Amino acid sequence: MKKTTQRIIILGSLIAAVALFVLFLSDILIPFIRLEIANDVEGAKDLLSSRGVLGFLSVVLVEALQMVVVFIPAEFIQISSGLSYPFWIALLLCDLGVCLGATIIYVLVNTFRFSNKAYEKNEKKIEKLAARVKKDRGTQLLLYLLFIMPLIPFGAICYYGSYRKMKFSRYIFTVATGVIPSIVTSNLMGMAARYFIGNDLPLWLLILIIVLLAGVLLAVLFLFLNKVFLRQNAGTPDSAYLTGFFAALHRFCRPRQRLHIDDTLLRDLPAPYIALCNHQSFFDMYYTNRLFQNAKANPSYVVNKHFVSHPLLRKIVPKSGVIPKKLFYPDLAVPVQIMRMLKKGYPVIIFPEARLSVDGRNYPIIDRSGAFYRRLKTDIVILKIRGSYFAKPKWRKRFFRTDVFVSAERVITREEIAAMSDDALNRLIDDALAYDASEETVGAFRQKDMAKGLENVLYRCCCCGALYTTKGVGNALVCSACGGEHRLNERYLFDGEPGSIGAYYAKIKDLEKAELSELRLEADVDTVIYRDTGRYRTRERGHCTLTGEGFSYRSDSVSFTIGFDALPALPFSVNAEFETYYNGDLYYFYPTENRRQVVRWALIVDLIKELRDEENRQ
């Protein structure tokens, strides 16, 4: 079938589906809701009786046409039918609509060789899922799996089944029965809405019931999928746990960013390999996961162990396919786990900086792993994320909807790696991952609170040097000591010097360097200790000190000092805490006064380490 004809069919189906839904909405659903609110039961029955055949046809045709188009969510008409009709009628109408749509798709594919771009976008995802299911289960059981997983539109699944050349009788039986769980759930949501409207109960209770209903269904489906279809994938990135996590994350993140993917280098690249990526945002795992949607294998991730060490997660994490690592603390199990994952045939994604960028520029890579990568004798793929820093930097609570670009930049082949020295490979990785968000701003930012929270990073005035006198007001950073003002423009750059957030932060570094020899920081802190063994979390009061000799902490229960040879960095959360490991336990320190200072503590550690590294090189 010619492309023009295919587009006409899709466009016509889209227009017809929307028109029919609007007709159903205006002629049946809205009048029905009004009668329900007025508690006019007889009037509601009369309305449905008078619109009987027209209403039935509207539901069936909308359901059918949305499947042909693929990208229109089926839930709209399913919930609406549950709201308008008794449960068994709504279920029958929606199932008939699905079967009609599936039949149209079957004829289009097998008679006219019709192709659908919306289906093609989901084809790789379906093929990857098919590879994760035991091959002896066959296409029919795979279709059942796809129908009960809330990840892929019904229409795309029907296109997939039609291309597999199943017998029509088996195909349509599978479709008719496979969609029932989803239709039942949507119809029940509609019925719940009708009940609450008719009984004049509060909206928050309706929302709570719907959320709980959906949550229970998803939990049951998850357990079923994990135990029956995907149990052989436990401990790998194909696990149901990791799939479910990223599916939920996708629903949360998708409305917040316009994500642009360039996965050209990954599509035909055979796994396994190491993938290295810059680290600009807390959601970089999500961005890179979307990059791998069309790759030959799902990736494993090296993640901060603290985020997955809660007692509720400890049994799940080993089955999820991620590799936990303690930040800036020796963890000999991690290299072994990376090698095991590569041996299983999966890529492994690592964020070598191990910290979110504070100023839009790269942190130096502290764990120099060139020697380890060379011993792996596998390719290295360089990934790059652009735009995520300004979308949600670590110093701002609010998301800004903006463009985020994720790409596979280059492949360093195992042959190239074998010909390099460890130092040469480390320098190559540094250069390949180098990034400054202010030099590559994407799009325009027209928000009116762009500087809100920025004082928690740019804590010192770059003009007068005063500490903790800056304040983000609207789109300007203002100093209360000297009156200096630095205003951000639509590209998130300062009008005039110092030009950018990164350049401003560099000036603060210079001010701190000049005072480094005499510097001594002290703070009373509320301490939260996450134990490696025994009781998971304890709390206490203590006192922290930072000098050129090292970092010290004392409380009623413990006292220790960590020298800079054992303190590579001091991770922190903006305006909250800084943290470090001691004897395997993770200590979170919350200053009791002026929590803006946590950035300064972390920066001072970085500067002392930088100075000592320079001395060692000389």
Determine the pLDDT at residue 35.
53
- Higher-pLDDT residue of 217 and 99 is 99
pLDDT digits (tens, 9 = 90+) for 540-569: 999 999 998 899 999 999 999 999 989 999
Structural domain boundaries in the chain: 3-222, 240-433, 454-506, 516-617
Determine the pLDDT at residue 43.
55
Residue 515: Cβ-neighbour burial (10 angstroms; 0-12, 13-18, 19+): exposed
Question: Which CATH architecture group holds 516-617?
Answer: Roll (2.30)
Closest CA to 66 of 158, 204, 140: 158
Q: Hey, what are 233's tokens? A: 């994938």
Name the β-bridge partners of 427. none
For Cα atoms 444, 446, 452, give the angle at the middle one, nearest 5 degrees.
115
Determine the pLDDT at residue 179.
84
Determine the pLDDT at residue 95.
87
Domains 240-433 and 516-617 share a fold: no
* CATH classification (class only), 240-433: alpha beta
For the chain, percent of residues with pLDDT exceeding 70? 77
Q: Among the listed ranges 138-152, 327-341, 349-363, which one has the minimum average pLDDT value?
A: 138-152
Q: Among the listed ranges 19-33, 214-228, 310-324, 430-444, which one has the minimum average pLDDT value?
A: 19-33
Determine the pLDDT at residue 607.
94
pLDDT digits (tens, 9 = 90+) for 255-306: 778 899 999 999 889 999 999 999 999 899 999 999 998 888 899 999 999 8
Determine the pLDDT at residue 240.
74
Indicate whether 48 pLDDT > 60.
Answer: no
Determine the pLDDT at residue 102.
86
Q: Which amino acid is at 560?
A: F
User: Confidence band (pLDDT; 50, 70, 90) for 136?
Assistant: very low
Starting at the edge strand that comes first in sequence, how are the strands of the sheet with 572-573 ordered?
559-562, 550-555, 537-547, 521-530, 585-591, 577-582, 572-573
Indicate whether 441 pLDDT > 50.
Answer: yes
- Higher-pLDDT residue of 40 and 572 is 572
Number of other CB atoms surrounding residue 326 within 10 Å: 17
The rounded mean pLDDT for the chain is 83
Q: How many angstroms separate the CA atoms of 102 and 124, rounded?
A: 20
Contacts of 200 (CB under 8 A, 6+ apart): 37, 39
pLDDT digits (tens, 9 = 90+) for 481-496: 999 999 999 999 999 8
Q: How many angstroms separate the CA atoms of 275 and 287, rounded?
A: 13
Instruction: Kindly report the backbone phi and psi dihedral angles of residue 4, in degrees, each rounded to the nearest multiple of 5, phi listed first.
Output: -60, -45
Indicate whether 373 pLDDT > 70.
Answer: yes
User: Confidence band (pLDDT; 50, 70, 90) for 463?
Assistant: very high
Indicate whether 29 pLDDT > 60.
Answer: no
Determine the pLDDT at residue 243.
78
Determine the pLDDT at residue 133.
60
Q: What is the DSSP string of 193-261?
A: HHHHHHTT--HHHHHHHHHHHHHHHHHHHHHHIIIIISGGGTTSTTSHHHHHHHHHHHHHHTTTEEEEE
- Higher-pLDDT residue of 353 and 618 is 353
Q: Among the listed ranges 55-64, 139-148, 226-235, 572-581, which one has the minimum average pLDDT value?
A: 226-235
Determine the pLDDT at residue 579.
96
pLDDT digits (tens, 9 = 90+) for 30-47: 665 565 455 554 555 555
